[in-house]
């Protein structure tokens, strides 16, 4: 009996040791897997956030979009995804331009904008018909065009970026704010420029205060305006507040009641945004939106000031791909000629 009991005990001991060994291996494998997973999670490539940048590619202005993209891509190490918005007729041209130039390395998506969404919402303005181009209103429809991102940057096509776009993307938006803009009164260096070319930088320049609907808003005409050519937007808040629907409502009211001031060129797309976002937006660092470079063919900023700027904007009639215009050398640094030869710079000797 004794040897039999001893054998059973030995077998039981071996069984326990085997189970322990199996459990040890299992735990070791799990901890290894967790360790590997942690390493993967911490690798910079996996953790790096994608920065979505929306730019329009309009016919006749495509070189602007190309220079803007080129300047952003060249000045950052960030993981930028460009959303290039075009009409059906312009999309093949911009795609070919990118794929046959040094920009072929960028990450981009081309998205078609359907102008039918604007039907009945735009009042014709003979003074500056170019402002009625459908792509001017792309910024109203950001959540419909860019769907998987929480935070989005929108840029006009007449800009170049001299800083790291990551800095702009890191702009803090206050709780409850769907967007951040640059105030038109924010930078003393630009005030002289504003005065010299007779620009408006208050709501008075955009809204017609003779109309009851505008007076009923209760916004002082001397309130400082903002410029929606550079936007950092929170898509969750935008959708939650139904910003697109609100903008469309004011577009339709303008068609019926002619509410916007015709004294300022940018009124068509800017005015509804001034109404909808009044008192409900965060601020962009002023150096990230130095504007008015396209307001006069003669008035210039100091070269030193422009070297310090992170983003330059040729808003106004005098675009850097046309003539006359100012500070074109800064813009041309980033321009990439059109391989198809369709888009040409207008220069005094051309």
- Report the percentage of the chain scoring pLDDT > 90: 69
Domain count for the chain = 1
- Report the percentage of the chain scoring pLDDT > 70: 82
Q: Is the peptide bond before 278 cis (omega within 30 degrees of 0)?
A: no
- The predicted-structure confidence for 215-252, as pLDDT tens digits, reads as follows 999 999 999 999 999 999 999 999 999 999 999 999 99
Please indicate, yes or no, if residue 197 is contained in any of the structural domains: no
254 vs 48, which has greater pLDDT? 254
pLDDT of amino acid 198: 53
Please indicate, yes or no, if residue 299 is contained in any of the structural domains: yes
pLDDT of amino acid 182: 94
Please indicate, yes or no, if residue 20 is contained in any of the structural domains: no
- Residues 194, 239 contacting (CB under 8 angstroms): no
In angstroms and rounded to an integer, the radius of gyration of the C-alpha atoms of the chain is 28
Please indicate, yes or no, if residue 279 is contained in any of the structural domains: yes
- The predicted-structure confidence for 176-205, as pLDDT tens digits, reads as follows 999 999 998 866 666 566 555 555 788 988
Average pLDDT for residues 281-308, to the nearest whole number?
93
Please indicate, yes or no, if residue 88 is contained in any of the structural domains: yes
Taking each helix axis from N to C terminus, what angle separates 62-74 and 91-99, rounded to the nearest 10 degrees?
A: 40
Q: What 3-state DSSP class applies to 110?
A: strand
pLDDT of amino acid 43: 44
Please indicate, yes or no, if residue 4 is contained in any of the structural domains: no
Please indicate, yes or no, if residue 123 is contained in any of the structural domains: yes
- Residues 111, 254 contacting (CB under 8 angstroms): no
Is the confidence at residue 44, as pLDDT, over 60? Answer: no
Query: How far is it, in rounded angstroms, from Cα 204 to Cα 202?
Result: 5
Q: How far is CA 340 from CA 63, 98, 120, in A?
A: 12, 11, 36
Per DSSP, helices labelled H in 198-264 are 212-215, 235-240, 243-257
Tokens standing for residue 134: 């459908």
264 vs 63, which has greater pLDDT? 63
Please indicate, yes or no, if residue 97 is contained in any of the structural domains: yes
Those residues whose C-beta lies under 8 Å from the C-beta of residue 139, and which sit 6 or more positions away, are 54, 154, 228, 231, 269, 273
Range of the domain at 90: 51-187+222-254+271-333
Per DSSP, helices labelled H in 43-164 are 44-47, 62-74, 91-99, 142-145
25 vs 323, which has greater pLDDT? 323
Q: How far is CA 280 from CA 116, 175, 177, 232, 238, in A?
A: 29, 10, 6, 13, 11
CATH code of residue 57 = 3.90.550.10
């Amino acid at each position: 009996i004794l040897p039999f009991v001893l054998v059973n005990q030995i077998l039981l001991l071996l069984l326990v040791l085997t189970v322990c060994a199996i459990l040890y291996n299992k735990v070791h494998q799990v901890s290894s897997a967790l360790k590997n997973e942690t390493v993967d999670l911490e690798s910079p490539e996996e953790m790096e956030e994608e920065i979505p940048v929306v730019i329009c590619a309009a016919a006749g202005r495509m070189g602007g979009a190309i220079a803007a993209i080129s300047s952003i891509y060249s000045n950052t190490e960030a993981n930028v995804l460009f959303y290039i918005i075009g009409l059906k007729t312009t999309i093949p041209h911009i795609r070919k331009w990118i794929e046959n130039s040094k920009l072929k390395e960028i990450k981009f998506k081309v998205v078609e904008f359907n102008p039918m969404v604007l039907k009945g919402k735009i009042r014709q303005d003979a003074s500056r018909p170019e402002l009625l181009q459908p792509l001017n209103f792309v910024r109203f429809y950001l959540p419909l065009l860019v769907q998987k991102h929480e935070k989005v940057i929108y840029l006009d096509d007449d800009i170049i970026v001299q800083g790291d776009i990551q800095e702009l993307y890191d702009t803090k938006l206050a709780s409850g704010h769907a967007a951040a803009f640059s105030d038109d009164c924010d930078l003393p260096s630009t005030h002289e420029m504003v005065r010299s070319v007779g620009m408006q930088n208050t709501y008075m320049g955009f809204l017609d205060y003779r109309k009851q609907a505008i007076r009923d808003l209760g916004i002082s005409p001397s309130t400082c305006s903002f410029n929606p050519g550079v936007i950092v937007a929170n898509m969750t808040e935008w959708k939650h507040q139904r910003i697109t629907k609100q903008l469309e409502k004011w577009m339709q009211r303008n068609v019926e009641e002619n509410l916007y001031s015709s004294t300022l060129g940018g009124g068509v797309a800017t005015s509804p945004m001034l109404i909808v976002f009044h008192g409900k937006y965060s601020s962009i660092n002023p150096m990230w939106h130095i504007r008015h470079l396209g307001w006069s063919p003669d008035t210039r900023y100091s070269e030193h000031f422009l070297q310090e700027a992170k983003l330059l904007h040729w808003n106004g009639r005098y675009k850097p791909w046309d003539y006359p215009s100012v500070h074109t050398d800064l813009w041309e640094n980033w321009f990439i000629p059109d391989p198809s030869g369709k888009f040409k710079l207008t220069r005094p000797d051309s």
